[in-house]
Structure formats: C-alpha cells, structure tokens
Structure 1
C-alpha cells in the first residue's frame, strides 16, 4: 500500500473535494472560479502524490473509487470546519460563539434585561441562549454553561452560586386585597410547581398547619406566575425574578414570609476548558450577580 507523503497541496485537496461532491470537473471549476483544465490537473497531481486513482473518467462526469469515497467525507468535514472558523474573523476580530442553557424564569426575569450591557462590553462574543426547565445535559446539548435552580449538588459540573432565590406568595391585586393574613390562603386556589414540597415549606415558615394543595401544576415558574397575573390563583415564586411585574403592580406580595428551597447557579462541565469567551461571560455574570446581591431592589413589595 502506498504511503501518504506529507504536505499534500491544499489546492489539489480542494479541487478533489469539489469534484467529488459534484462528480464533475466542470462544475467544480465553476465553484472554485478556475478553469476545468486547472481542476483536472490538480486532481491528477493529487492522484500521483497519493499513488492511487481517485476517479473513473466516464463519458459523462466522474465515477468514485473506493479511495475517493474514503477521502471525501474527511475533507468535506475539514474544509467545513476551516470555513466555520474563518467566518468568525469578521472586521479583523475573532467572533466566538457561546451557548448557554438557562432555566426560563431566570432568563426572562433576570438575564435578558442585562444582555445589552454584555453585548456592549463584548461585541465579538455571539451568545446563543437555550431555555430549559432545570433538566439539562451540558455535554449532550453542547452547552458552554447552564444556569440552574437547586442546591448546587451536581457532581459532574463546577457550580457557582449566582443568586439566592427565596420563594414568597405572589398574586394579582384583586386577590391580594382579600388576604388579611396567611390563613386566608385556605380559600384561594394555590398554584403549584413540579417541586411538591414548596407550599408545605412556606406554610411551616408562616406558622401554619399545612393543608392539601390541589391547584394546577406548572413545569415553569414563569408560566405559573403568568397564571397568577391573570387571576387564576396564588403563586409561590422568587420575587426577584418578577421585579417588573411587581413594580408595574400586576403582581403583589401580600406577606413577608419566605421559604428557601434553592438558588440559581452558574454551572459548566469539569471536563471543559475555559475559552476567552467563557471567561468573559463568567466574570461578567458573577459581577452582575454580586451587584444584585448588594442592591436587592427587585425584592421590594409594591
């Protein structure tokens, strides 16, 4: 078997790859903006360097050999990767893509209003945001970061707490006017998340004996609180994530009682090395979260 010599000419590899995709020297020449004779010559030179035949010259077009079938997918992938990286050099700067999975409540209630400042500070980092409901696989989904709610006990990832997120009662103004004390909640529809013990924890913090809660169950706090805004019932949610609704008096926080069931965390795989973009985002969001911790205006009751 012929050995492959180093330093194969890039133009010849490109001519072969295009010809193999089109099964035509003529169409490859049009794609590469050269003559048909130049493409044919480059392919013949590559065949000589490799010591094998890559195409069967047919009366109409080209036929693939076993060798060309083995070589084509490798070159197509390699040229695609090169093209993808080169496209990131726009305007003389390297553009890096950063993919982040974010629990929906945090994305809408906290992250989105701050993205403009990140973009202004780091215009050459392209953010791609995917939402999830706390069920996320960073490796399988190709995520650089995930922002999750919980206790931070995820062994495969580095976990840095961003914000504490105590839960409290949130409801529409009409319902808030009916509530003179926590015990009045027994007459209201209590909306539930998929975490079944939240209302039990809040009842305990409020000094109440728990009662069965049979309201609708939501897989998203954002959706649950939207139902509360529309008067469908009373939600138990982190007020920090709904500061705009509280300030606009679409929601009210009738009681000060809170219960802590988790926090929001920035997580990334232990096996993943930090790139310049991931370092920039990590420092930025931790600084933003530190500022939020100092100034908790979003938690104020309307």
Structure 2
C-alpha cells in the first residue's frame, strides 16, 4: 500500500516558511536559494493536492489548510528530531537504563538519590521519563518502572518498594498555624490534588482527635504536587503531601508541619521490571539499589 508521506526535506522547508512567514528568511535559515524553497513548496502542494501558502501584500502567508497542516506536522518533526538524537546518544557499549517513574516519586525521592547509583555504575547512561499514572499501555517502553502498586504492566515482574506516609504542611507565616498545631483545622484552607480528592478524608480518619473542616473536598485544586507545594509556600493554604516530597523544605524551614501527625496513605509504590529485561545485570543492580535505598533504616540494638 502506498504511503502518503512527503519527504523530510519538503516538510522542513514548509516548517521554516511557516515559522518565518516568508520564503526569504526560510531560505537563509536552511542555506538554500529562494527558488529551491519555492520549488519544494510547489512539489509539496502538488503531492498533497492542497494550497498551503499564498502570496499577499505582506508577503507569504499560510492558507487555512496550511495553518492546520503546520500545526499537525510541527510536533511530529520535533519528535522525529528527538528520536534521532536519542539514537545518536546511544553508547557503543549499550549501557543504557530507561526508567519510567510516577512524577511525584521521581522528583521528590528518586532523583535526589540517583547520584549514588551513578557513582556505583559510572558507565551507565540513565534516562528518567514519566511513567503515566492513568494511561494504559500494554507494551511499556521502559526497562524498569517505579509506580504505584496498582499500576498495570502486563507481564512485568513487580516487587513492592515502599509505602507512603502523608503530612499536612503549611507556610511558617500561615494564619491559624497555632490552631492547626493543636489539631484544629476547622478554619484551614485545604488545598486539593485533583487525582487525590479523597486524601484529606482518609488522612483525618486515620489521625485521632483532629477537628476537620465541614467540607473536606473544597478548596483550590491542582494537577501536580509541585504546583500544590508552591501554593503552600505562597501561603495559599495547607497541603497534604507525601513526607518524602517535602523533606528539603521542612529541613530548611521554608515549610513547617501544620501538625506533627504522619498518617500512612493507601498508596504504595512498586518497582516493575520489563519482561524482556529480567535477566539483565544492570537492571538487576538498579532494582537491588532501589530496594536498598527504600528500606527503612536498621534500628541499633542497645547492649
């Protein structure tokens, strides 16, 4: 079956013309003559059968069809470039580890600990990408995944990694901080994470003797923990977050615990190994290091 795919050269020329709103500047960028750019545009239009550009008093402009087409292919060209750069970055010895992780764990727990693993494996090129939380993919592109326990990855070898405890944090200058420290949250502005709208109800249910607001799902709402924590720093309200995610802010005093209670979350994390990588030595070393890093510290026994 014939594939209706224009040449990459023609698409890059069309993209340059669209970005510069003219043939002249596009030709300069691509080190081509004006006539060469114009010829490629004509060939592209003939192949597609649609007028993409038009001459006006102000120069070369895209037609409505041209604007739609450019909006569709510009992202494809960027992805093609990134895929090519990814292939160029491959090490000759093949020591590459592609890790997918849920964003909150990647940012707040995994990334700060990665220098230790890299120092132990100096020949490893580690690529950390987002493991989508709610997107089902039967064939995940990762060697290793670090995700919530209930993540779906058919055929992957899953091992429990660690649980999650959540803390309520606020700005040091928060109004009502003294009341919250006594366990009275009735006047508190609770900040919400869109994907965890029941988190406050679970937290208050596990911590005794706290006085909760009447409505536990009201308040400003955010898509990401990083945005929620930024809102807490701005004193927009009190946030409920995994304790590991705010370790640095609590140590520096940028944030404080609204009250001292830590409550275990119903969420936990597991490490998933791709079916095709179960016998890989580098993958095995990473999983072993990961589980050791997540293990609770050994308590010293008094003599």
TM-score by length of 1: 0.60
Shift of 1:129: 0.7
Shift of 1:230: 1.8
1:222 aligns with 2:226: yes
1:165 aligns with 2:167: no
Alignment of 1:1-302 (within 5 A): 88-89=91-92, 94-132=93-131, 134-137=133-136, 140-151=139-150, 156-175=155-174, 176-183=177-184, 185-193=185-193, 194-207=195-208, 208=211, 211-212=214-215, 213-253=217-257, 254-270=259-275, 272-290=277-295, 293-294=296-297
CA contact (8 A) 1:138 1:145 kept: no
Provide, for residues 280-300 of structure 1, a one-character-per-residue CA deviation record: whole Å limited to 9, x for no partner: 21111112112xx1179xxxx
CA contact (8 A) 1:103 1:133 kept: yes
Write the distance in 2 (CA, Å) between the matches of 1:281 and 1:116. 12
CA-atom RMSD in angstroms:
3.0
Matched length: 207
Partner of residue 79, structure 2: none
The DSSP-based 3-state class of the residue aligned with 2:269 is strand
Write the distance in 1 (CA, Å) between the matches of 2:197 and 2:132. 15
Partner of residue 18, structure 1: none
Write the distance in 1 (CA, Å) between the matches of 2:89 and 2:228. 44
Q: Which runs of 5+ in 2 are unaligned?
A: 1-86
CA contact (8 A) 1:168 1:237 kept: yes
Q: Which runs of 5+ in 1 are unaligned?
A: 1-83, 297-302
The DSSP-based 3-state class of the residue aligned with 2:263 is coil
CA contact (8 A) 1:101 1:130 kept: yes
Shift of 1:199: 0.7
Provide, for residues 143-185 of structure 1, a one-character-per-residue CA deviation record: whole Å limited to 9, x for no partner: 11221134568664322222221112111112234524333x2
Write the distance in 2 (CA, Å) between the matches of 1:201 and 1:86. 45
Larger Rg: 1
Write the distance in 1 (CA, Å) between the matches of 2:124 and 2:136. 23
